[in-house]
């Protein structure tokens, strides 16, 4: 067998070995030398590890068993230090001498560290390896201020990760715009504004003169005389190919190790692939071209007759800290190009296509990159667009367009750039392995297993390949169409990353739409207010029209106005106000509601604010996702069967719980005796008064799917009733999906789990404290006299 040695256990080199083994598993005895103590891992996922989205173990591309299964001798934590071309030997820093017949150099590149005073201080690092990432995570636990030098992709991802870990971060960039290699000025400015909204701070057009400190970094000084304090400096100003071992060996080296189309160096038995290689004057840094190089080399070294590597047209589709962008080909106009541009500053969308001779030569998209693959496919195929209008080229492909794109792709077209997975590999795996879901495709081919940006395309290939047998219901669904993340995953990420606005959540968690949809906007607004009641300011624009107008919209477009009447009680003065308002605004219906209140129905939209102002009464929340009412009978004060003052307790309960938002509407009830005149056993929370106290029930529903309450406990005092009611509501607030009533939530969670939680005094104490904290932050939004600001908000809704 031939001895094949690979220097470098990184993505490009090991991908080459994968392709070699796939073509010929018998010819070579393979040894891989890696200077890190890990198996092959996905370096581009280090940002996700830093941001807490995944773990180091989860970014392994090939685990230890893969090397054993393929009979590969892996040397980890060992560095190749010398190549003897004449003897065909590689010598390591542990004095091992490895003979080779064929040698592949895949030493990658290293983070460039600015040669300024202080760059050797503790706390100054690059961002390239697992060790770098671990050092950054440790620093975030012990220090508060970080500076990232470099406003490119890697720098922005590092900054986002450090922010997620609680650090204050400044990004220092030499140029006036971010990501200048991928974005033009217009798109870069949109990116900068979005990142600033996430808490990222920028020092633009700054050149570092010195990093100062004693043993550890304390700050940076710039050439303009300004400075910034920090405890950590992350260098993300570029990479340098690791070519020292090749240069000393006498191979031809420019910026990288010079190779031909078959990745052969100036020595015919030595090859180079990846970031250390230079092909036609270009050293590539993105994954897709490096994998293409690996395939070309594998084809050549196993005796194939392929045409070799022909260079790559580069594209970038990614979400920098959650900001959706795509770029490919040319970025800037010149005298030979014409530009088609759409710039929607209000929606923060930007699309630019550069055209030469009716062919697309460049694409820049920001805010919505869903058309990136379609446009880039047209660019690569040099499709004639003369028959298109500007709008039709720029418009979304839609379902049919996506289907056409999938059908037009060749088997060699790369779908997953992170892992170099082609359409052909995916289709073959679907048909051969019987795959039916995205998760199965990801597990089998690794497509979508890294950054996940190609998931929609993988699902489209699934649908196209399976045809009528494709079952969309089998695909994992998230909390809305904008994300595949579930409610629990979203809430966990909000807590972990301490995100402070729905927009930041959508950006950081890669929601498909930066503005969200009608489902996730109100849900995120609720989750943020529930998690951070003292810090988060309610986003009125994300609420449903009923909540904005403080009334339920009726089938003819008019509204109901239903004031609060605790326990169904009112006063003569309030009755007069209701009557006068009904006359003044020609209200067609005045009705006693099922919740024992008086409602005005058929109020014109433009009259709603005026009606509330004239009434000067608190809203009854008949439209809200909160406690609507507490139904009660008169109890012992009047009824001969009453055992307790159910009316008084109902009023106290309503006053204690009202105003606080919940995942869905809630109804409670208090009945004065077991005869249950208030029908409390089908309420979200029910109280039955008995001689020795109060029987408590939870999780009922009297709607289309009737559910009888579960019994909780019998308590002796009204104070215990209110305490457990608060705890129950808060437990529901913290754990139910937005839009989920208590009955299905109890069914899903388990009545026994809910009961066990509420019968634990420590749990109850914590829940009540959280509820009271939230309750205190709810202003008297529905106060007896509407403020001018409140009226302006409602009139804005009317005009809208």
Q: Are residues 516 and 586 in the same domain?
A: no
In the chain, which stretches have pLDDT less than 70?
Answer: 317-322, 389, 391-392, 394-405, 417-418, 449-453, 472-478, 481, 704, 779-800
Does 766 lie in the same domain as 633? yes
Is 468 domain-assigned?
no
- Phi and psi at 711, nearest 5°, equal -80, 135
- At residue 541, the pLDDT reads 73
Q: How high is the pLDDT of residue 192? A: 93
Alpha-helix residue ranges (DSSP H) falling in 598-741: 608-615, 646-657, 718-735
Q: Are residues 501 and 564 in the same domain?
A: no
DSSP-derived letter for residue 417 is T
Structure tokens at 710: 């579960």
CA distances from 187 to 341, 363, 373, 411 (A): 11, 11, 18, 32
Q: 595 and 634 in one domain?
A: no
677 is in an annotated binding site: yes
pLDDT score of 94:
93
Which tens digits make up the pLDDT trace of 28-72? Answer: 999 999 999 999 998 888 888 888 777 787 788 888 989 999 999
Which H helix or E strand runs over 601? strand 598-603
Q: List C-alpha distances in Å: 339 to 131, 334, 354, 392.
A: 44, 10, 5, 14
Q: Do 683 and 698 share a domain, yes or no?
A: yes
- Asked if residue 552 belongs to a domain, the reply is yes
Nearest-angstrom CA–CA distance, 589 and 267: 93
Name the nearest CA neighbour of 155 among 98, 259, 78, 236: 236
Domain boundary among 589, 615, 641: 615
Is 633 annotated in some ligand binding site? yes
Classify residue 247: in a domain, yes or no: yes
Give φ, ψ of 3 to 5 degrees.
-90, 120
* Residues 588 and 701 grouped into a single domain: no
188 and 277 co-located in one domain:
no
Residue 230 labeled ligand binder: no
**408 in a structural domain:** no
- Tracing tokens 């690092």 back to the chain, one arrives at 125
Residues 196 and 50 in one domain: no
Residue 416 annotated as part of some ligand binding site: no
Is the CB of residue 685 less than 8 Å from the CB of residue 628?
no
pLDDT score, position 468: 77
Asked whether residue 117 is assigned to any structural domain, the reply reads no
Q: For residues 675 and 765, state if they share a domain.
A: yes
Give the Cα separation of 750 and 747 in Å (integer): 5
| Residue where one domain finishes, among candidates 202, 237, 272 | 237
DSSP secondary structure code for residue 316 in this structure: E
Instruction: Provide the token pair at 696.
Output: 């408590």
Any domain includes 343: no
Token pair in block for residue 737: 């999906």
Report how many domains make up the chain.
Answer: 5
Same domain? For 7 and 28 the reply is: yes
Domain residue limits at 556: 546-615
For residue 216, the domain's CATH number is 3.50.50.60
**Is the domain of 567 the same as that of 697?**
no
* CATH number (domain holding residue 671): 3.30.413.10
Last residue of a domain, one of 542, 557, 573: 542
The owner of tokens 């996506």 is 402
Phi-psi label, residue 382: left if phi above 0, alpha if psi -120 to 50, beta otherwise: left
- The verdict on residue 377 lying in a domain is no
Residue 748 belongs to some domain of the structure: yes
Give the per-residue pLDDT at 397: 44
Does residue 634 sit in the same domain as residue 593?
A: no
């Amino acid at each position: 067998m031939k001895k094949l040695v690979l220097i470098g256990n990184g993505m490009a080199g090991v991908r080459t070995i994968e392709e070699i083994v796939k073509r010929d598993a018998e010819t070579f005895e393979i040894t891989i030398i890696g200077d890190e103590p890990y198996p092959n891992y996905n370096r581009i996922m280090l940002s996700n590890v830093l941001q807490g989205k995944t773990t180091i173990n989860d970014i392994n591309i090939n685990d230890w068993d893969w090397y054993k299964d393929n009979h590969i001798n892996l040397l980890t934590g060992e560095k190749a230090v010398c190549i003897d071309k004449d003897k065909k030997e590689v010598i390591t820093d542990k004095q091992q001498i490895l003979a080779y017949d064929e040698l592949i150099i895949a030493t990658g590149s290293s983070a460039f560290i600015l040669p300024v005073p202080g760059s050797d201080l503790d706390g100054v690092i690059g961002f390239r390896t697992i060790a770098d990432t671990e050092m950054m995570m440790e620093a975030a636990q012990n220090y508060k201020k970080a500076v990232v030098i470099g406003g490119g992709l890697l720098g922005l991802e590092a900054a986002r990760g450090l922010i997620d870990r609680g650090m204050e971060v400044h990004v220092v960039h030499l140029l006036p715009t971010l990501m200048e290699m991928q974005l033009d000025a217009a798109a870069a400015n949109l990116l900068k504004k979005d990142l600033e909204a996430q808490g990222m701070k920028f020092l633009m057009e700054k050149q570092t003169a010195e990093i100062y400190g004693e043993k550890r970094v304390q700050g940076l000084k710039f050439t303009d005389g300004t400075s910034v304090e920090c405890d950590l400096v992350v260098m993300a100003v570029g990479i340098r190919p690791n070519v020292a071992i090749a240069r000393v060996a006498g191979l031809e080296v420019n910026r990288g190790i010079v190779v031909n189309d078959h990745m052969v160096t100036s020595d015919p038995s030595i090859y180079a692939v990846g970031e250390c290689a230079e092909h036609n004057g270009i050293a590539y840094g993105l994954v897709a071209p490096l994998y293409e190089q690996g395939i070309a080399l594998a084809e050549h070294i196993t005796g194939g007759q392929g045409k070799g590597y022909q260079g790559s047209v580069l594209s970038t589709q990614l979400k920098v800290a959650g900001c959706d962008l795509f770029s490919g080909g040319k970025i800037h106009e010149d005298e030979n190009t014409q530009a088609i541009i759409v710039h929607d500053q209000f929606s923060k969308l930007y699309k630019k296509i550069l055209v030469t001779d009716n062919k697309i030569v460049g694409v820049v998209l920001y805010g919505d990159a869903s058309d990136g693959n379609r446009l880039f496919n047209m660019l690569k195929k040099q499709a004639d667009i003369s028959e298109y209008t500007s709008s039709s080229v720029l418009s979304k492909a839609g379902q049919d367009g996506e289907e056409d794109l999938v059908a037009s792709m060749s088997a060699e077209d790369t779908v997953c750039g992170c892992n170099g997975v082609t359409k052909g590999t995916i289709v073959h795996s679907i048909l051969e392995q019987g795959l039916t879901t995205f998760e199965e495709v990801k597990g089998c081919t690794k497509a979508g297993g890294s950054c996940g940006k190609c998931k929609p395309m993988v699902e489209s290939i699934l649908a196209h390949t399976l045809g009528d047998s494709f079952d969309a219901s089998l695909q994992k669904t998230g909390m809305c169409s904008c994300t595949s993340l579930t409610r629990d995953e979203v809430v966990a990420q909000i807590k972990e990353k301490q995100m402070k606005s729905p927009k930041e959540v959508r950006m950081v968690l890669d929601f498909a739409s930066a503005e969200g949809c009608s489902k996730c906007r109100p849900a995120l607004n609720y989750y943020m207010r529930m998690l951070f009641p003292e810090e988060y300011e309610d986003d009125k624009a994300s609420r449903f029209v009923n909540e904005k107008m403080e009334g339920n919209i009726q089938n003819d477009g008019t509204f109901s106005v239903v004031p609060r009447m605790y326990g169904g009680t009112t006063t003569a003065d309030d009755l007069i106000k209701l009557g006068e308002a009904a006359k003044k605004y020609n209200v067609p219906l005045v009705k006693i509601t099922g919740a024992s209140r008086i409602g005005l129905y058929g109020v014109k939209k433009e009259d709603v604010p005026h009606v509330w102002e004239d009434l000067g009464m608190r809203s009854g929340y008949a439209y809200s996702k909160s406690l609507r009412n507490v139904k009660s009978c008169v109890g012992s004060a009047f009824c001969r069967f009453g055992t307790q003052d159910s009316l008084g307790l109902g009023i106290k309960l309503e006053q204690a719980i009202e105003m606080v938002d919940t995942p869905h509407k809630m109804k409670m009830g208090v009945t004065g005796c077991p005869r249950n005149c208030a029908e409390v056993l089908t309420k979200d929370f029910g109280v039955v008064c008995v001689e020795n106290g109060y029987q408590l029930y939870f999780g009922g529903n009297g709607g289309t799917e009737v559910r009888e309450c579960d019994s909780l406990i019998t308590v002796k005092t009204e104070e215990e009733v209110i305490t457990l009611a608060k705890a129950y509501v808060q437990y529901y607030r913290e754990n139910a999906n937005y839009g989920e009533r208590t009955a299905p939530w109890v069914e899903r969670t388990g009545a026994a789990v809910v009961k066990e939680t509420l019968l634990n005094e420590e749990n109850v104490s914590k829940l009540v404290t959280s509820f009271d904290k939230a309750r205190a932050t709810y202003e008297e939004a529905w106060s007896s006299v509407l403020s001018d600001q409140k009226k302006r908000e409602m009139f804005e809704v009317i005009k809208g």
